[in-house]
Amino acid sequence: MNIPVDNKIRIAGGGIAGLSTAIYLQSKNHSTVVYEKELKIGESRHGDFEGIENWIFNNHIYSSFKNIGFDFNKIESTPVNSFYVHTAHQKPLRVKSKIPFFFLVSRGCKSSDLDHQLFLQCKKAGVEFRFGSKAPSNCDVIATGTRKASAYIQGINFNTDLKNQVHLLLGKKFAPKGYAYLIIQNGHGTIASAFKKTKNTQEGFLENCTEYFKSKNINFFEAKKFSSRGSFMLPFGQMNLPILVGEAGGFQDYLFGFGMRMSMLSGLVAAMRLNNEHLKAKKLFKIINRKRKLSFVNRILYEKLNDKQMFFLAEKFSNSSEPLSILSESYKWSLKTVFRWLNYKNRYEVRHT
């Protein structure tokens, strides 16, 4: 490891992956400094809701956070054990599980947001932050997000007096080659459409989603629109310096975008690598790589489904007594399947921004 003369490890980007690298290294007595272009951690987010998945990796979310150096008990989250799946022409289906599908968190810079709460734990651990400044060229870790876009997200944050609930919308009317969702939590809500943009893409998917739910007597008060982008980068190489983590390194869930835990674990791999824990880093890196390759294959298969097939898939989950196990098994395919992504890579839609 080539540490500068001031013995500080420099991290470009204060997202959840960069923060994960920082707090682990700080716990191992390495002085770390995080360069964040915004004036606050989480300032680029909109207070929208996301889920930390509970099906891709074997260990519990609490253990994952503890291994990184975070205390999950200090994170405001809500376990989600059931949700509704909607398609354009069939009745909604309820999917439920004894074990939570995911833990709901809000993203942003408010005191109740995940990003801010991770920042506070990093500060308490002694991590140094430099806001509003460009990261130097000699950073050890790059956690600045993606520069490519192949998926787009349009959404609305709103207030409501409705009870807590989660909905998933499938089909080309709501989100072609993607998915849309509605989440209501403690008087606040997020509705968003995450879709693939093609040459013949017509805008209006978010409007289709809102109109659909208005027909179900769900209204959106004090609504504020937001937009972002997603990437399907495929850099599956080794972790060479400077180490790319999070979306900058393609560490995400390609299937449904539940990539927060994978992103944070990529930060842990980088930290282990910089702490000369090469065997641990190699083992975890192998696990993450396998999972994201499988999610890539799953995504290709998912995008080939038509609306009717999507409904049948949702029906399978709804009728299952253990739907979480179905999700988990989709990330445990054979090695032959893992490497099929090579045959699709050149045909996959990835755009430079």
- Tell me phi and psi for residue 261, to 5 degrees: -65, -40
Task: Look up the CATH number of the domain holding residue 124.
Answer: 3.50.50.60
Is pLDDT of 150 > 60?
yes
The answer to whether 233 touches 148, Cβ cutoff 8 Å, is: yes
Query: Does the residue 94 lie in any domain?
Result: no
Is pLDDT of 3 > 60?
no
Tokens of 54: 């509970």
Is pLDDT of 351 > 50?
no
Query: Does the residue 130 lie in any domain?
Result: yes
Per-residue pLDDT tens digits for 100-148: 999 999 999 999 999 999 999 999 999 999 999 889 999 999 999 876 6
Is residue 166 located within the same domain as residue 64? Answer: no
Q: Is residue 262 very low, low, confident or very high in pLDDT (cuts 50, 70, 90)?
A: very high
Domain boundary among the residues 279, 294, 309 is at 294
- Secondary-structure breakdown of the chain: helix, strand, coil percentages, each rounded to the nearest 5: 35, 25, 40
Is residue 167 located within the same domain as residue 32? Answer: no
Is pLDDT of 337 > 90?
no
Q: Is residue 180 very low, low, confident or very high in pLDDT (cuts 50, 70, 90)?
A: very high
Farthest-apart Cα atoms in the chain, separation: 64
d(CA 252, CA 53): 12
* Count of domains observed in the chain: 2
Is residue 179 located within the same domain as residue 252? Answer: no
Per-residue pLDDT tens digits for 284-314: 999 999 898 888 888 888 989 999 999 999 9
Strand partners, 8: 31
The answer to whether 174 touches 212, Cβ cutoff 8 Å, is: yes
Interstrand relation of 141-142 and 243-244 (parallel, antiparallel or unpaired): parallel
pLDDT of residue 336: 61
Is residue 242 located within the same domain as residue 272? Answer: yes
pLDDT of residue 146: 76
- Side chain identity at 198, as an amino acid letter? T
Query: Does the residue 336 lie in any domain?
Result: no
Angstrom distances, CA of residue 114 to CA of 13, 109, 167, 182, 245? 16, 8, 21, 19, 18
pLDDT of residue 257: 84
CA nearest 159: which of 114, 224, 84?
224
280 lies in which domain range?
8-46+56-76+109-147+233-294
d(CA 295, CA 254): 5
Is residue 37 located within the same domain as residue 181? Answer: no
pLDDT of residue 278: 96
Is pLDDT of 58 > 60?
yes
Give the CA dihedral 107, 317, 86, 98, nearest 10 degrees: -50
Is pLDDT of 1 > 80?
no
pLDDT of residue 301: 86
- Comparing 336 with 123, the larger pLDDT belongs to 123
Average pLDDT, the chain: 89
Is residue 197 located within the same domain as residue 170? Answer: yes
Is residue 139 located within the same domain as residue 259? Answer: yes
pTM over 0.85: yes
Is residue 140 located within the same domain as residue 182? Answer: no
Query: Does the residue 173 lie in any domain?
Result: yes
Decide: helix, strand or coil at residue 323. Answer: helix
pLDDT, average across residues 254-271: 94
Query: Does the residue 315 lie in any domain?
Result: no
Query: Does the residue 136 lie in any domain?
Result: yes
248: Cβ contacts below 8 Å, ≥ 6 apart: 13, 17, 142, 143, 144, 145, 146
The answer to whether 268 touches 17, Cβ cutoff 8 Å, is: no
pLDDT of residue 352: 36
Angstrom distances, CA of residue 236 to CA of 1, 248, 325? 22, 12, 27
**What is the percent of the chain where pLDDT is above 70?**
87
Is residue 29 located within the same domain as residue 139? Answer: yes
Is pLDDT of 212 > 90?
yes
Is residue 171 located within the same domain as residue 143? Answer: no
Query: Does the residue 129 lie in any domain?
Result: yes
Per-residue pLDDT tens digits for 10-32: 999 999 999 999 999 999 999 99
Is residue 136 located within the same domain as residue 263? Answer: yes
- Side chain identity at 261, as an amino acid letter? R
pLDDT, average across residues 165-174: 96
Query: Does the residue 237 lie in any domain?
Result: yes
Is residue 134 located within the same domain as residue 206? Answer: no
289: Cβ contacts below 8 Å, ≥ 6 apart: 236
Domain boundary among the residues 294, 328, 345 is at 294
pLDDT of residue 347: 52
Domain boundary among the residues 294, 314, 345 is at 294
CA 269 to chain CA mean position, Å: 17
